[in-house]
Structure 1
Amino acid sequence: MRFPEPVRSADDHASPVWARPKRRSSGGGGGFVGLIVTLLALFGVLTAVLGIKEQSLAEGGAMMDGWITAGVNQGKTLIGQAPEAAEVAADKAGEAAEKTGDALEAGAATTAETLKTQ
């Protein structure tokens, strides 16, 4: 069996191909930057499509502004309802805890009676 000749890598070290160091990725920030670039590209495509559809970039932008305004208003409405929803959820949790406590007390009493009679 013949061994392959060592190959010189970019940093001028003579080593077999399988012993070369692995290349490191660019780090954790690359994914975030890629996401931002992708979102900006999608925004640009949407702007171009709406500009073509409405035959004016201003009218396409106005349409997108309407969508953004509707989304912000819906978000404000949902945020305004959050304290009320939290209060209702807390009341329901309190009622459930009371029912659980009552059930545990009833179970404990039944168990105590069973143990006394045996």
Structure 2
Amino acid sequence: MTGFVYILANKRNGTLYAGVTSDLEGRMHDHRNGLTPGFATKYGCDRLVWLERRPNIVLAIRREKSLKDYKRAWKLDLIAKLNPNWDDLTDSIHVIDNPYKPKAGSRWSELYE
């Protein structure tokens, strides 16, 4: 089952929230309608500004944990590379090319072929 790692914002360069799910469309519905109490709802983070597909939820969870270790400036740069205008990507979930590409020959590359 595919996993998604994502970053939400409340506005351009605003508050950021990193999350993980196997159903990004459903999760965005929950975020948009305040159905998930917590940080994202409290701070109005409902704009999908960055996402990454992983081949399974375990790898997605690992990636989310690593994202949370990085400083804000690194996350802003990550967003700028995929989405320089900070557009809401919710309607583009299935058409955005996955930005994560492991190096050829690495132990992860076979999962993404």
Q: Where is the strand percentage greater, Structure 1 or Structure 2?
A: 2
Q: Where is the helix percentage greater, Structure 1 or Structure 2?
A: 1
Query: Relative contact order, CA 8 A, sep 6+: which one is greater?
Result: 2
Q: Give 1 or 2 for the bigger CA radius of gyration.
A: 1
TM-score of the superposed pair, with normalisation by structure 1: 0.19
TM-score of the superposed pair, with normalisation by structure 2: 0.19
